[in-house]
Amino acid sequence: MDHSSNTTLQPITEFEHFLNRLSEENLRLLNRMVVERLKLYHKVNDLKNLAKFNLIDKVSFQHNGRYIKGVVLKLNRRSVTVRTYDGKQWNVAPILLTRLH
């Protein structure tokens, strides 16, 4: 395969240089730190989405192509418990809920 038409290599960034100098132990430590930071971002995002709702808010969500309406019964760590008008309970990710007026 002829690569002569594309002889320009991408420059290595400072971060790549930094990574290349790390030992396996330090790479594993960095990995743990990145994973923990991502978990923190997810928790913050979950809380922001949960904060959009209050108890007894009327909401709707889609399931199997149909809209389901109900009332917020409980705010959980990562989901909202919704009681539908037919008496069923659903735990729904807040990102999937729409507040009804």
Instruction: Tell me the per-residue pLDDT of 10-51, one tens digit each, with 9 for 90 and over.
Output: 657 888 889 999 999 999 999 999 999 999 999 999 899 999
pLDDT of residue 101: 86
Separation between Cα atoms, residue 88 and residue 98, nearest integer Å: 18
Using alpha carbons, select from 46, 75, 43 the residue that is nearest to residue 59: 75
From edge to edge, which strands make up the β-sheet containing 66-75? 89-92, 80-84, 66-75, 58-63, 98-99
Say if 71 falls within a structural domain.
yes
Q: Which domain CATH number covers 72?
A: 2.30.30.140
Name the nearest CA neighbour of 57 among 16, 92, 99. Answer: 99
Domain region containing 75: 58-99
Q: Is the pLDDT of residue 54 over 70?
A: yes
Q: Residue 76 pLDDT more than 90?
A: yes
Q: Give the per-residue pLDDT at 9.
A: 52
* 87 and 71 housed in the same domain: yes
Q: What is the pLDDT of residue 13?
A: 84
